[in-house]
């Protein structure tokens, strides 16, 4: 059958061919990545994630206004697929109907409703972009560094698709060709306005706009696959292969560091784009440049050069600059030195691994693993890392703790107690419920020791039997792992797992969220399987069981969520339950709390690195805590406590505001002991 509009049909055919070529090239680029273990299987869970995040727009809707705008456009385009088929069919025959669906009133209504919804969505997006104009507010805009002109062109094209659609449908209502009744309210409404132009003009308008509609769709198709709007195609695939159950907590991959399996060719981490996994390459291709990650990043918020969005965009540029042969092999030598050639060292080392970016990303990009992979390459293959962190690594290696104070001092904190705690030397006694994993900060830092002592007193008061490893406890390896020294981490981990296994320990209390995360989530990959509870969880349970009586606290308390307890491990309620149980205490939340909690600046081994660029993250967080007017800033992590307390002292506010762990509040009276 001859088409009525050969230009539109030719344009469509060319567009489909160009788009297919582009997608094939992308497929080859992504396929050239390393294997990504664990991305298959758990299909029911994957299907459920797809239903929630893609169909249900769950993550996008966490930000109500832009989320709704996106849902309008997303669902609009799903429904408008029918109109695209109808418009193409119209090129062949004005009476075309989708087989099996026809021209039901319901379809006409849905098509018009969603056409209007898409226009509303585009209007909201435009308003947001004007309000967040990066030319005006610079770094404070989440669109800073994004391809903003492309975004405006995209909005213009989406609007053009809808306007041409409504115009040709409206004109058809006056030529007798429109198959839907008044349920297609928008088409008929605009048609009323066009009616005075007469049947002849309306016929011309219908012809021009149906042609224009198909041409715009063809252009949009090409534009989509060559721009950030590629996410329309790849985001559902990226979400389908996202890490399950979550991309936070443990790092994704535990490389085989067995000296027997290491050869000359072994490469650790990512030093060139080819050394990322295919899933990471798909991540880079999927970024929508929405800037949600950037807006939550503590490094970016304090004027450092790190933006998770810009890291992903830079890596995508690098990926797209590669050429591949038809079978996916690189035509070029892999270009090494990703750091500093593509990612500057100041960017790489600024990350606290807080996970705020991963939490926010609507298309499930896993920034933390990509950053740690580049760090691994820097540390293990190039021996390049911030000088001051070298001391921390040497201390762990030689003395078993980042401060280098040595195992002999690990029990010093117990001197302040008026009771004895058993120290496990061989097998843990049968009548001991838990091993209390004190952690390096809890054992050595003066302020963290107060928390450790409070926990010990509370456990004893509640009748919980527990023991310590004392001098045979050693750093879990978390700071070494986060800085990229996987070798040292695995050495520490294996030593600790062996120690815990030989003593028969199965249940562990951890007071440091970093120790908690490492033992609970990362040791299993190395054969260490233990039941780990954070002290906030245990204390909340003991309070609810009536085994601990909370003391009166006449004060306003705010709670700072430690990233590795909250975002990484979803423990938000237990510490709050402890505070809420204190008679007289008034709680007040900070603006950024729970999933959106703002890092204290110590994670990712940043505790042992200089913070010489921008403002200090701990001071930024402390300002927010102070702005609540709280008299007590509480937390449940020794690092957070140290960082916030440092900031309080730097501001000279230590006389007015106390920084304490929730265990100290429950132990009470905290005032004398903190």
> Whose CA is closest to 527, among 488, 501, 508?
501
Cβ(328)–Cβ(32) below 8 Å: yes
290 part of the interface to ligand SF4, by CB under 6 A:
yes
Among 308, 402, 479, 528, binds ligand SF4 (CB under 6 A): 308
470 part of the interface to ligand SF4, by CB under 6 A:
no
Cβ(71)–Cβ(52) below 8 Å: no
| Cα 439 to Cα 460: distance, rounded to the nearest angstrom | 19
483 part of the interface to ligand SF4, by CB under 6 A:
no
The string over 635-668, giving b where at least 16 C-beta atoms fall within 10 Å of a residue's C-beta and e elsewhere, is bbbbbbbbbbbbbbeeeeeeeebbbbbbbbbbbb
| 304 three-class SS | coil
Among 287, 438, 509, 565, binds ligand SF4 (CB under 6 A): 287
Comparison of 87 and 600: residue with beta carbon closer to ligand SF4:
600
458 part of the interface to ligand SF4, by CB under 6 A:
no
- Given the rule CB under 6 A, which of 176-184, 286-294, 336-344, 448-456 is the region that contacts ligand SF4? 286-294
Tell me how far, at minimum, the Cβ of 369 lies from ligand SF4, in Å.
Answer: 10
Indicate if the alpha-carbon torsion angle 247, 251, 257, 258 is positive or negative.
Answer: negative
Interface with ligand SF4 in residues 242-271 (CB under 6 A): none
List Cβ neighbours of 204 (8 Å cut-off, separation of 6 or more). none
Among 159, 205, 206, 299, binds ligand SF4 (CB under 6 A): 299
| Cα 353 to Cα 607: distance, rounded to the nearest angstrom | 12
363 part of the interface to ligand SF4, by CB under 6 A:
yes
Cβ(468)–Cβ(423) below 8 Å: yes
Q: Show the binding pattern over residues 310-339: x = contacts ligand SF4 (CB under 6 A), - = does not.
A: --x---------------------------
Tokens at 640, concatenated: 């957070």
Comparison of 9 and 361: residue with beta carbon closer to ligand SF4:
361
517 part of the interface to ligand SF4, by CB under 6 A:
no
Tell me how far, at minimum, the Cβ of 78 lies from ligand SF4, in Å.
Answer: 20
Among 33, 269, 298, 400, binds ligand SF4 (CB under 6 A): 298
293 part of the interface to ligand SF4, by CB under 6 A:
yes
Indicate if the alpha-carbon torsion angle 61, 66, 70, 73 is positive or negative.
Answer: positive
Tell me how far, at minimum, the Cβ of 314 lies from ligand SF4, in Å.
Answer: 12
169 part of the interface to ligand SF4, by CB under 6 A:
no
Q: Which residue has the tokens 């996987």?
A: 486
| Cα 656 to Cα 633: distance, rounded to the nearest angstrom | 11
Number of residues that bind ligand SF4 (CB under 6 A): 28
Comparison of 458 and 605: residue with beta carbon closer to ligand SF4:
605
291 part of the interface to ligand SF4, by CB under 6 A:
yes
| Cα 420 to Cα 460: distance, rounded to the nearest angstrom | 10
Comparison of 28 and 367: residue with beta carbon closer to ligand SF4:
367
289 part of the interface to ligand SF4, by CB under 6 A:
yes
Among 184, 253, 368, 483, binds ligand SF4 (CB under 6 A): 368
Tell me how far, at minimum, the Cβ of 179 lies from ligand SF4, in Å.
Answer: 40
List Cβ neighbours of 44 (8 Å cut-off, separation of 6 or more). none
- Please list the residues that pair with 586 across neighbouring strands: 556
Tell me how far, at minimum, the Cβ of 553 lies from ligand SF4, in Å.
Answer: 32
| 146 three-class SS | coil
Q: Show the binding pattern over residues 342-361: x = contacts ligand SF4 (CB under 6 A), - = does not.
A: ---------xxxxxxx--xx
String of DSSP letters for 188-245: HHHHHHHGGGHHHHHHHHHHHHHHHHHHHHHHHHHHHHTSGGGHHHHHHHHHHTS-SS
Q: Show the binding pattern over residues 558-577: x = contacts ligand SF4 (CB under 6 A), - = does not.
A: --------------------
Looking at residue 550, the DSSP 8-state letter turns out to be P
Interaction site with ligand SF4 (CB under 6 A):
287-293, 296-299, 306, 308-309, 312, 351-357, 360-361, 363, 365, 367-368
């Amino acid at each position: 059958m001859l088409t009525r509009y050969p230009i539109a049909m030719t344009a469509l055919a060319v567009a489909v061919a160009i788009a297919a070529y582009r997608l094939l090239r992308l497929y080859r680029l992504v396929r050239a990545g390393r294997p990504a273990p664990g991305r298959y299987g758990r299909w029911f869970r994957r299907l459920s994630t797809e239903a929630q995040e893609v169909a249900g727009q769950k993550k996008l809707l966490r930000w109500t206004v832009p989320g709704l705008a996106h849902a309008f456009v997303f669902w609009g385009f799903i429904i408008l697929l029918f109109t695209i088929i109808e418009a193409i069919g119209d090129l062949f025959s004005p009476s075309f109907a989708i087989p099996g669906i026809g021209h039901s009133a319901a379809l006409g209504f849905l098509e018009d409703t969603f056409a209007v919804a898409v226009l509303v969505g585009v209007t909201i997006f435009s308003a947001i972009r004007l309000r967040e104009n990066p030319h005006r507010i610079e770094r404070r805009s989440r669109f800073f560094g994004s391809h903003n002109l492309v975004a405006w062109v995209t909005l213009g094209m989406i609007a053009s698709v809808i306007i041409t659609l409504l115009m040709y449908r409206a004109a058809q209502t006056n030529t007798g060709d429109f198959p839907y009744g008044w349920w297609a309210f928008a088409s008929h409404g605009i048609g009323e306005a066009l009616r005075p132009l007469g049947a002849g003009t309306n016929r011309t308008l219908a012809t021009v706009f149906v042609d224009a509609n198909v041409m715009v769709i063809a252009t949009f198709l090409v534009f989509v696959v060559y721009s950030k709007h590629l996410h329309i195609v790849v985001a559902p695939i990226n979400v389908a292969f996202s890490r399950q159950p979550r991309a936070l907590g443990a790092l994704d991959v535990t490389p085989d560091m067995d000296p027997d399996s290491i050869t000359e060719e072994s490469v650790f981490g990512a030093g060139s784009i080819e050394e990322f996994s295919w899933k990471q390459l798909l991540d880079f291709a999927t970024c929508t440049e929405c800037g949600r990650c950037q807006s939550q990043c503590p490094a970016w918020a304090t004027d450092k050069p790190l933006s998770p969005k810009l890291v992903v965009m830079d890596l995508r540029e690098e990926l797209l600059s590669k050429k591949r042969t038809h079978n996916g092999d690189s035509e070029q030598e892999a270009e090494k030195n990703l750091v500093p050639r593509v990612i500057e060292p100041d960017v790489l080392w600024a990350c606290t691994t807080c996970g705020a970016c991963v939490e926010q990303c609507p298309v499930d990009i896993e920034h933390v693993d990509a950053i740690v992979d580049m760090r691994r390459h820097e540390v293990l293959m190039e021996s390049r890392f911030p000088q001051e962190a070298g001391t921390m690594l040497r201390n762990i290696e030689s003395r078993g703790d980042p401060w280098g104070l040595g195992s002999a001092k690990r029990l010093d904190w117990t001197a302040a107690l008026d009771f004895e705690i058993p120290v496990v030397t061989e097998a843990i006694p049968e009548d001991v419920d838990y091993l209390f994993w004190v952690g390096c900060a809890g054992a050595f830092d003066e302020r963290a020791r107060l928390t450790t002592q409070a926990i010990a007193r509370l456990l004893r008061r509640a009748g919980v039997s527990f023991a310590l490893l004392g001098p045979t406890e050693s750093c879990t390896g978390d700071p070494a792992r986060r800085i990229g020294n996987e070798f040292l981490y695995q050495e520490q981990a294996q030593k600790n797992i062996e120690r815990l296994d030989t003593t028969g320990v199965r249940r562990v209390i951890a007071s440091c969220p970093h120790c908690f995360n490492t033992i609970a989530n990362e040791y299993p990959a190395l054969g260490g399987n233990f039941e780990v509870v954070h002290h906030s969880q245990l204390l909340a349970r003991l309070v609810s069981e009536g085994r601990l009586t909370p003391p009166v606290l006449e004060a306003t308390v705010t709670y700072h969520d430690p990233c590795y307890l909250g975002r990484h491990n979803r423990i938000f309620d237990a510490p709050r339950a402890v505070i809420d149980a204190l008679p007289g205490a008034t709680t007040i939340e900070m603006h950024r709390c729970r999933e959106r909690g703002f890092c204290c600046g110590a994670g990712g081994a940043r505790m042992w690195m200089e913070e010489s660029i921008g403002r200090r993250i701990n001071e930024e967080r402390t300002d927010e805590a102070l702005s609540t007017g709280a008299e007590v800033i509480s937390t449940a992590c020794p690092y957070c406590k140290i960082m916030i307390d440092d900031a309080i002292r730097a501001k000279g506010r230590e006389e007015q505001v106390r920084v304490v762990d929730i265990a100290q509040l429950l132990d009470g009276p905290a005032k004398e002991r903190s």
